[in-house]
Structure 1
Amino acid sequence: MTQHHQDYRYTRHYQGQVQAVIFDWAGTLVDFGSFAPTRILIDAFAGFGITITLSEARIPMGLGKWDHIKALGQQPAVAQRWVAHHGRDMTDSDVDAIYAAFLPLQIARVGEYSDVIPGALEVLADLAERGIRRGSCSGYPRVVMDKLLEHAAQKGVIVEHAVATDDLPHGGRPGPWMALANVIALGAGDVSACVKVDDTTPGIEEGLAAGMWTVGLALSGNEVGLTLQELKTLPPAEVERKRAFAYQKLMRAGAHFVIDTIADLPAILDLIESRMVKGERP
């Protein structure tokens, strides 16, 4: 006798509004162009006799700062400069030493780059009014995160939770742990109803790994890497060229949506909610 097997597994599809948005910090909420991590890393490497360009410093952006320093030192051109100056390859002990030099510089100067990105205050207020929880995470270690939170709060940028890259035992991006720690702290009931907003590819990968919708930020973030004033002085054709490059890179990383800056986020949240009502998932 032939037996027929019926699969009765139930697939639950969340249908409702966005429950939480998890923001990055530099290049997302504050620091248009994401300069605090890069310029201070350049200064830290200079203390060890190594010249780093701004474009080189930006390549590993989004990683935790120790990992960022290691990845920066592994870039072929930087590795060659290190060998030429020190007569040997960079080691993890060297990364430790650079990180130790970087950390007090970052703590002291993170406030210099904490200007609020236009639209951030309005978007955070809109989310609060809509009952959407506001979380955040960063490649910054806790000692820097606390200083940044202090500066940001003075300018009105306040989130409900913030996770630093060294808060968790498994580390930071591109793993899902910081984003998921926000889900737990904020009491969000379904990761598929959460949105990760970030300007870097590791940040987008973090959101995807956590099972969230992901929104990339092109013009305000690391990929364009200009201050707001610098961006305003560019010819429109050059702005569009830089925008297109950033959009393509973030989309290739897997972003569900890419927008110019945080100011454009509310319309995307409306779109996500319209898709979730139909039972769609990230």
Structure 2
Amino acid sequence: MSNIEGVILDWAGTAVDFGCFAPVNVFVDIFKHAGIEVTMEEARGPMGMLKIDHIRAMLSMPRVSALWKEAYGRAFNEEDVQRLYAEFEPALMVSLSEYTNPIPGVIDTVEALRSQGLKIGSTTGYTSSMMEVVVAGAKEKGYAPDHVVTPDDTGSYGRPYPYMIYRNMEHLKLSAAWKVVKVGDTTSDIKEGVQAGVWSVGVAVGSSEMGLGEEEFHGLSASEKEAAIARTKQVFMEHGADFTISTMAELPALIERINGLLAEGKRPGFVR
């Protein structure tokens, strides 16, 4: 059968933690402690990457890099990266358990997909120790994928490398990349899916890319919500997404559409 066999979901901002707030505030704080004021947009920019790679990416941003040189009289080095990360990880672990609530619609969507025989994998930018907290908290609240892969399982080669997706495929016995859908809420997720050769889908509402908390989003007018969703989807498409959805509730219908495309001989990337 030329149908989708499995779906691989990101965690924070896709399946749990509406708006992906757990890591963002910590990134802002550790840079502030180092004397560098970063914006929320800069803190969110590399979201989805392995967190130490995220710090490297932030330090490499022209404005942040210039501020670092101004403050320290030199460019940042690997020792700086390691020192910032040494502060980041324990700070994140303190609050991580508070950010494990499934995003509305995710549990029902996963149940619907499983009822159709699909397997549910997952990838993340969190380390294995971080995911122990997230997986346990989400499971208590009703969300548990069939498999979890972290960058620790792939030699610290996280997104945008495709290896976490391949590890899911191996464990879940998914027969071909074009029979797999990857769903995420960041440009790193999109790139991961594209480089793995799977169908790459961006989800807008609750995403780090949109950057709004649940109350903030629902406080918007209908036209403001529509504009925020459209902006977010546009970013995903610019980074190579095959498709975008507003919420996870739209995923089962999208998979039906993709099955139709597969029957026509289409493969991931045909619209790019």
TM-score by length of 1: 0.91
Cα distance in 2 for residues equivalent to 1:59 and 1:73: 12
- Does the 8 Å CA contact 1:224/1:243 hold for their aligned counterparts? yes
Determine which of 190, 203, 220 is the counterpart of 2:176. 190
**Structure 1 residues not aligned, in runs of 5+:** 1-14
Stretch deviating more after TM superposition (83-92 or 93-102): 83-92
Rg bigger for which structure?
1
Give the aligned partner of residue 268 of structure 1.
254
Q: How far off its partner does 1:182 sit?
A: 0.4
Aligned mate of 1:91, from 77, 88, 97: 77
Residues in 1 aligned to 2:123 and 2:224: alpha-carbon distance in whole angstroms: 31
Within 2, Cα distance between the matches of 1:46 and 1:113? 22
Identity of aligned residues (%): 39
In structure 1, the partner of 2:59 is 73
Deviations along 1:212-236, whole A, 9 cap, x unmatched? 1111111220121001110111122
Partner of 2:204: 218
Q: Is the 8 A contact 2:97 2:133 kept in 1?
A: yes
Superposed, 1:115-264 pairs within 5 Å as 115-169=101-155, 171-264=157-250
Deviation at 1:150, TM superposition (A): 0.9
Which range is displaced more, 72-81 or 124-133? 72-81
AA matched with 1:173: R
**1:180-206 alpha-carbon deviations (Å, 9 max, x no partner):** 110001111111100000111111111
Q: Deviations over 1:7-41 (max 9, x none)?
A: xxxxxxxx432111000011100111111121111
Aligned-partner residue type, residue 194 of structure 1: V
Contact 1:28 1:221 in 2 (8 A): yes
Q: TM-score, normalised by structure 2?
A: 0.94
Rounded to whole Å, the distance in 1 between the matches of 2:241 and 2:74 is 39
Q: Does the CA-based 8 Å contact 1:28-1:261 persist in structure 2? A: no
The aligned counterpart of 1:23 is: 9
Counterpart of 1:111, as a letter, is S
Kindly state the Cα deviation for residue 170 of structure 1 after the two structures are TM-superposed. Answer: 5.8
* Alignment coverage as a number of residue pairs: 268
